[in-house]
Structure 1
């Protein structure tokens, strides 16, 4: 029979990179961690960790088992939390992942308010612009900006977030205004390097694709906003990121005669988290905090005409 303390020791070794580091994290003797790891390998009948004097690396069996080991520990923690839960009080760990820009700009305040309402929740948040697999990576839920196509996940809509072509007034004064999509070809573009370089627009005849001239490629939306504020070119950015800049006039929305394709914000979680009261409460809280329509959709300042 699998023992949870043995599974915990294995996960900690995998994450820490060595038995010594895992022992320090767990507050146990190195010999105890080594014994628990050996007991788990004996129970499973497979070597999980290749040990060296300085570092421990996962075997192929270890890499396969790691995702399930994390899920076993997560399920155990959730079971303890549910048994301990009394009345409407929410208790126990809640592990979230979110995109870097959205997490930094829009999640902090509502999450801190959520924690004040539910002080017995143990929240862990990791910001990552890669598409995280919540089941494999040990998360209860992930925030996604864009469609959730994985059928293993249940998605709850949080808010809308239009995308805008934006630039600084100084850049447009120097480079000239944009009256139509064709005008974009002579402007400098600040592009997101994790996606294709195309800009897509909705029109009466369907989608139109523009391949702008690249001035700068960045893998972070906040850096793209900073580049636009610095007058380096035009960027296609979500409204949640530029709301205050548009209100203050530091950036303006470029009307090229067609609307950029928008996106929705979701909280997505594995099927086995469908009954989680913590996730349900979080989704309800975030929806109320963002509003419908979301507060960042209310103000846009257009480029000057003429």
Structure 2
């Protein structure tokens, strides 16, 4: 168990930026924390911190070991919890990558409810709008909707994400409504940066692909929604972001006869964390909350 307590001392020091604060966090003396970190450095044969009288900073090696150490400690904590009574509360630390818009509009409530039900689970939620490899970037769960594949992970489908074209009535009155996706090249378009300016549609005669020249692109979907409501163009957007605007009439669907292929929201989990009780519990909560579709 010496290695485990040494790893815990390393994590606490990295998170607290010093031995004194780490000691208070672990309820041990400063000298004990320093000794444990030194023992770990001797064990692995490398220095983990740049030490000075003013601050402590992770070395390059320390930065590389940080995510792995966090995962190892979480794995051991989960194993010990599973070896105890079946009715024990979940206790773990989960580092989660999630998309910005989806988290603000849907997932924040799921995370809040989950933590209220599992107060001993610590959630570190990082909002990132690009694909990430959870193994190399140190995440227990990475949520996204892009068809990227990584090694050493398990993909858990959560739900399909519907997308559509929409514009303000004022824009359509001034510029007319496109009759075919190819007409979009003559319109002002608002594009979601991660999916790019190549827009695809399913028509009666098969797949139609159009390369647009967006006047505005953003990695935050709500920026595009506000711009579309202001009459600035036709937005290619996730349906859940514009449901209220469509009901209120501030936006109208464009080209409904040419549906946009769905994306699948999925959770990517490192194989070594896939059976952790807290991971499985959060995945179940996500699936229940997002069913049947966004």
Give the alignment's TM-score, normalised by structure 2.
Answer: 0.84
Correspondence for 1:179: 179
Distance of aligned partners of 1:119 and 1:85 in 2 relative to their CA distance in 1, 3 Å threshold: farther
Q: Does 1:259 align with 2:259?
A: yes
| SS, match of residue 132 in structure 1 | coil
Distance of aligned partners of 1:61 and 1:120 in 2 relative to their CA distance in 1, 3 Å threshold: closer
Correspondence for 2:129: 129
Shift of 1:174: 2.1
Deviations 1:14-53 (A, max 9, x none): 4455556655665665544433322211122212222244
Deviations 1:46-74 (A, max 9, x none): 12222244443433432332232122111
Contact kept? 1:160, 1:265, Cα under 8 Å = yes
What stretches of structure 1 of length at least 5 have no aligned partner? 297-306
Matches within 5 A, 1:226-305: 226-255=226-255, 258-292=258-292, 294=293, 296=294
| SS, match of residue 3 in structure 1 | helix
Cα distance in 1, alignment partners of residues 172 and 291 from structure 2? 32
Shift of 1:268: 2.1
Cα distance in 2, alignment partners of residues 77 and 277 from structure 1? 11
Correspondence for 1:304: none
Cα distance in 1, alignment partners of residues 121 and 245 from structure 2? 34
Cα distance in 1, alignment partners of residues 107 and 171 from structure 2? 31
Contact kept? 2:133, 2:150, Cα under 8 Å = no
Correspondence for 1:303: none
| SS, match of residue 135 in structure 1 | helix
Equivalent residue pairs, number: 293
Shift of 1:275: 2.5
Distance of aligned partners of 1:223 and 1:13 in 2 relative to their CA distance in 1, 3 Å threshold: farther
